[in-house]
Amino acid sequence: MSLRHRIGLLYIPGALPCFENFGNLPTDLVYADAKVDNKPASEVLDMLIIPGGSLVESQSVTPDVKREIVKMADCGKFVLGICSGFQILSKHTDVGRLSTIPIIREGIGLLDVEFKPLICTDQVKATVVDTSFLTQEIGKDVQGFHCHTYGQINLQKNVKPILVSHVNQINYKRNPQDLLSGVSNKQGNIVGVLIHSLLDNNPTVLESIMKSVDINQTELLKIREANSNLLSKIKNEIGVSTGIYSNCQIKQRTPLFLMFTALGSGSGKTFIVSGIAGALKKRGFRVGIIKVAGDIRDTVPALYLIKEPIKEYSSIKIGESGWLPLDQVVEQSTKNHDFLLVEGAMSAFTGLLNENYQRPMSTVEVAVALGAPSIVIAACDQDGLEGALINTLNYLRTMKKLGINVKGVILNKLYISYITDEIKLIMKTAFSQLGVELLGMVPRLSFERRGMIPEVEIRYEDFGSEAMKAVEYHIDLELLVKTASPAQLTQVDYDAITAEFRKILTHSNLNE
């Protein structure tokens, strides 16, 4: 198929080529060698899209790719960087969110801005404040979402603002404000934005690109046919440039659900869920990831592996956090997937006593309303195996008293050197007496460092690879799949759940 214009999508480790659809414009993939049809990308492409991901943390943008991006910029061709792709085009990014000193990652420097840590995961409206090849209607409002950890833009002199987002939450706190979210070089052909799905949600943005690149409606149809072929080429690969592919598709007549919760933050929910998502995708399931509450960053490592986009149904609303109510999430997500993994927020009980917001306010309330099997992930690194077992058993009893369909336990961050067959039998027996299966024991791994910790600094290719290995080796996936079942949405008396929880807290014996 002959195309008058060709649009590239950067496809290297750490990139998220399916996190959004990019207006279904990409026609060609640009790999680490920066070539398209064995020619330098700058000679073939009219536009390059650098997607979000962990490109800055992964430092996976090769010298060849950088050189071709600069060539495209110099000859007036168009480059769009989104989120991490924006940071690649900047001067530098400070990724030291929890560090006492800045940790600087250098960018290419085509956009005269610097980035510092600032977390935002809102769905947003943004206002166009200046023109570029992406934005041609000043004063126009556009829509999308933020999903970033390093979002504070320090503007320098050789760049102009083009987008301002109107956000509600910053750094986990409600703090409504206007946030600079898009800039352009003075010529208007190099653009960086923090907002995802701009090309998908806003016809005026797509029209601006078409006008700038000189794409007519007839050619747009050809471009989208090429894009369809591109997606079919990459969708079955697990992650990016791994060479691991999904088996034939498994079609579930009624989609299966599993809810994952934990004894608290830091238990490894995101790691385990990401590994399970990749392993199920590899076995042919169309996997979807859903997060309780608004921190959708937790879903991204799994989405990196399974090549799925963020959708509005990716986040369940609790209190003032999250995107869609549970019933709408279930209705929309089951149209596209065979197997849905729902990751809870913090502990299952966090927020249950908070009466300042509309219910539901906790993962436990969502779990009861969803009616799907729940899996508890219990970290054993703080209290040892023995303490973790006691805590987990009490946790399970409490969950069951509140009406949660708990079906499985995964022990994580475990020191397993002294675990004998007799100890395994004791653990399985203790859980089975509560009607719960021990699905796996994942040892404490040695890679917990910068680049492997969600919400601090992460390299998706490393995190995803290690998560899949851990799950495939240490978790009984066949038993886990048998544990799953369709959702059974239930009308819930949230006041009754809170009352029962208060009763449990004041009772001296959870066994009674």
**Predicted structure pTM score:** 0.94
Residue 248 is assigned to a structural domain of this protein: no
Residues 130 and 227 in one domain: yes
pLDDT of residue 98: 73
Q: Which residue's entry shows tokens 């050197």?
A: 417
Q: Kindly report the number of other CB atoms within 10 A of residue 232's CB atom.
A: 9
> pLDDT per position in the chain (512 positions), as tens?
689 999 999 999 999 999 999 999 999 999 999 999 999 999 999 999 999 999 998 899 999 999 999 999 999 999 999 999 999 999 999 988 777 788 889 999 999 999 999 999 999 999 999 999 999 999 999 999 999 999 999 999 899 999 999 999 999 888 999 999 999 999 999 999 999 999 999 999 999 999 999 999 999 999 999 999 999 989 999 999 999 999 777 777 789 999 999 988 888 999 999 999 999 999 999 999 999 998 999 999 999 999 999 999 999 999 889 999 999 999 999 998 999 999 999 889 999 998 888 899 999 999 999 999 999 999 998 888 899 999 999 999 999 999 999 999 999 999 877 888 899 999 999 999 999 999 999 998 875 555 556 656 788 999 999 999 999 999 999 999 999 999 999 999 999 999 999 999 887 554 54
* CATH, residue 83: 3.40.50.880
d(CA 131, CA 161) in angstroms, rounded, equals 9
Residues 221 and 289 in one domain: no
pLDDT of residue 363: 94
DSSP 232-269: HHHTTBSSSS---B--SPP--SS-EEEEEEESSTTS-H
* CATH, residue 317: 3.40.50.300
d(CA 31, CA 14) in angstroms, rounded, equals 12
CA distances from 389 to 396, 418, 430, 470 (A): 10, 15, 9, 21
Residue 383 is assigned to a structural domain of this protein: yes
DSSP 332-374: HHTTT-SEEEEEEEEETTTTTT--SSPSP-SHHHHHHHH---E
Pairing of the two strands 113-116 and 256-262 = unpaired
Residue 442 is assigned to a structural domain of this protein: yes
Last residue of a domain, one of 234, 268, 288: 234
d(CA 135, CA 162) in angstroms, rounded, equals 7
Cβ atoms of 397 and 511 within 8 Å: the answer is yes
Residues 427 and 330 in one domain: yes
Burial class of residue 38 (count of CB atoms within 10 Å of its CB; 0-12, 13-18, 19+): exposed
Q: Kindly report the number of other CB atoms within 10 A of residue 92's CB atom.
A: 17
Burial class of residue 70 (count of CB atoms within 10 Å of its CB; 0-12, 13-18, 19+): middle
Q: Half-sphere exposure (CA, 13 Å, Cβ side) for 256?
A: 18
Residue 452 is assigned to a structural domain of this protein: yes
Residue 374: domain span: 256-505
Residues in contact with 253: Cβ distance below 8 Å, sequence separation at least 6, in sequence order: none
* Tokens encoding 235: 């969708």
Residues 283 and 191 in one domain: no
Last residue of a domain, one of 234, 268, 294: 234
Q: Which helix (H) or strand (E) holds 145?
A: strand 141-145
Residue 244 is assigned to a structural domain of this protein: no
Give the burial string for 492-512 (b: 16+ CB within 10 Å, else e).
Answer: bebeebbeebeeeeeeeeeee
Residue 241 is assigned to a structural domain of this protein: no
Residues 201 and 346 in one domain: no
Strand extents, DSSP E, 171-299: 173-184, 190-193, 256-262, 287-292
Pairing of the two strands 78-82 and 339-347 = unpaired
Give the burial string for 111-144 (b: 16+ CB within 10 Å, else e).
Answer: bbbbbbbbbbbbbbebbbbbebbbbbeeeeebeb
pLDDT of residue 322: 92
Length of the chain: 512
Residues 281 and 137 in one domain: no
Q: Which residue's entry shows tokens 């078409």?
A: 210
Last residue of a domain, one of 204, 234, 264: 234
Beta bridge partners of 443: 414
pLDDT of residue 449: 54
Residues 177 and 263 in one domain: no
Question: Closest Cα partner for 347 from 402, 414, 276, 416?
Answer: 402
Angle at 355 between CA 295 and CA 273, to 5 degrees: 30
Residues 309 and 223 in one domain: no
d(CA 245, CA 224) in angstroms, rounded, equals 24
Residue 19 is assigned to a structural domain of this protein: yes
d(CA 205, CA 211) in angstroms, rounded, equals 10
Three-state SS at 191? strand
d(CA 365, CA 367) in angstroms, rounded, equals 5
Residues 221 and 276 in one domain: no
Burial class of residue 320 (count of CB atoms within 10 Å of its CB; 0-12, 13-18, 19+): middle
Structural domains in the chain (count): 2
pLDDT of residue 509: 55
Q: Which helix (H) or strand (E) holds 147?
A: none
Residues 220 and 123 in one domain: yes
Q: Which residue's entry shows tokens 């290690």?
A: 466
Q: Which helix (H) or strand (E) holds 229?
A: helix 217-234
Residues 127 and 169 in one domain: yes
d(CA 483, CA 439) in angstroms, rounded, equals 9
Pairing of the two strands 92-94 and 104-106 = antiparallel
**Phi and psi at residue 38, in whole multiples of 5°?**
65, 20
Torsion of CA 396, 401, 403, 405, to 10 degrees: 30
Three-state SS at 436? coil
d(CA 144, CA 122) in angstroms, rounded, equals 9
Q: Kindly report the number of other CB atoms within 10 A of residue 331's CB atom.
A: 13
Cβ atoms of 72 and 48 within 8 Å: the answer is yes
Residues 180 and 263 in one domain: no
Three-state SS at 446? coil
Residue 240 is assigned to a structural domain of this protein: no
